[in-house]
């Protein structure tokens, strides 16, 4: 049901998308949830991806991939546009077991030697899965190297990660996916080094109008929320301009300075040049 509703919203928003070859320049976007994983490579070259980002008005993107080679391909093509993060998945199969697999930890430690990454993630981790040597070391590495942990997690896992290191910096993927604005606000209240990105969320403006509870959240925490899309499957690349047109429509219902912070300024501050 969620995916069907999302497709309808994207189709409607596509009416607002400029013709091919033009750029959406109304509000720049720093997209904090992009993947360029192996299934994408045969359909879109890195040059093709840059053209899609141009058409969607994405000034910069936080990119992770399965395997990491996809991130490196995009980074080599457009270094000024790509903020690379290291996903701890060598294959899709690692998604379910990475947090307890020492071989994944060795992969992460080796890849981090490149010194180019802004974060570790996006990874899937849920309550009760954080007390493994692999997760503990990942959190240590992030602290040592001043990296953001990009966690696709429930509230319980986010709390457990902060218990491992209260000073950890966490970007909460999908703002918890199912957490409502009140719960998100409580989490942001409790943890000053927690940020939330809104990839694949449609509930803030499901009828085209920004919901009051979400508006209250954005006004209360204007510095702690960011835009994301999530190209988790190849078909999402074609949908990205429409999804961001819809995103701009609800951002336009906020004060301009708040809209700019959520669209790109918060991410620029967190991930730097």
pLDDT at position 2 = 47
So what's the pLDDT on residue 45?
Answer: 98
Q: Which domains does the chain have, with CATH numbers?
A: 26-271 (3.20.20.140)
Q: Which residues of 198-208 are buried (b: 16+ CB within 10 A; e: fewer)?
A: bbbbbebbeee
What is the C-alpha separation between 18 and 191, in angstroms, rounded?
Answer: 40
Beta sheet of 194-197, edge-to-edge order: 29-35, 58-64, 82-86, 119-124, 148-152, 170-172, 194-197, 225-226
Q: Residue 87 gets which letter from DSSP?
A: -
pLDDT at site 95:
96
**Contact yes or no for 220/185 (Cβ under 8 A):** yes
pLDDT at 273: 77
Per-residue pLDDT, 15: 39
pLDDT of residue 158: 98
Q: Cα-Cα-Cα-Cα dihedral of 259, 226, 77, 245, to 10°?
A: -50
Helices 236-251 and 46-56 pack at an angle, to 10 degrees, of: 20
Q: Say what the pLDDT of residue 208 is.
A: 86
- Phi and psi at 67, nearest 5°, equal -75, -175
Instruction: Give me the pLDDT at residue 218, please.
Output: 98
Tell me what pLDDT residue 7 has: 52
Q: What is the pLDDT of residue 26?
A: 82
Q: Could you tell me the mean pLDDT of each successive run of 10 residues in the chain, 273 residues long? A: 50 41 66 98 98 97 98 98 98 96 97 98 98 98 97 98 97 97 98 97 91 98 98 97 95 97 98 88
Bridging pattern class, strands 194-197 and 82-86? unpaired
Q: Would you mind telling me the total number of residues written for the chain in this entry?
A: 273
């Amino acid at each position: 049901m969620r995916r069907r509703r999302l497709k309808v919203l994207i189709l409607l928003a596509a009416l607002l998308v400029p013709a091919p070859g033009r750029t959406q320049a109304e509000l720049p976007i720093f997209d904090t949830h992009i993947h360029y994983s192996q299934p994408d490579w045969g359909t879109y070259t890195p040059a093709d991806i840059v053209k899609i980002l141009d058409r969607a008005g994405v000034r910069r993107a936080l990119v992770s991939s399965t395997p990491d080679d996809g991130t490196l391909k995009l980074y080599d093509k457009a270094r000024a546009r790509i903020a690379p993060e290291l996903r701890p998945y060598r294959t899709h199969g690692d998604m379910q077991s990475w947090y307890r697999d020492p071989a994944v930890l060795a992969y992460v430690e080796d890849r981090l030697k490149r010194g180019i990454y802004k974060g570790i993630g996006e990874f899937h981790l849920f309550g009760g899965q954080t007390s493994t040597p692999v997760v503990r070391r990942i959190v240590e590495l992030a602290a040592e190297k001043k990296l953001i942990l990009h966690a696709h997690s429930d509230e319980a896992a986010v709390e457990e990660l902060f218990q491992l290191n209260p000073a950890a910096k966490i970007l909460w993927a999908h703002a918890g996916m199912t957490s409502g604005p009140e719960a998100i606000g409580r989490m942001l209240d409790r943890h000053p080094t927690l940020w939330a990105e809104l990839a694949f969320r449609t509930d803030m403006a499901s009828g085209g109008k920004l919901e009051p509870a979400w508006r209250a959240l954005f006004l209360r925490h204007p510095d702690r929320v960011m835009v994301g899309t999530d190209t988790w499957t190849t078909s999402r690349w074609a949908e990205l301009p429409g999804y961001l047109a819809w995103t701009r429509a609800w951002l336009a219902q906020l004060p301009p300075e708040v809209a700019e912070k959520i669209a790109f300024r918060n991410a620029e501050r967190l991930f730097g040049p």
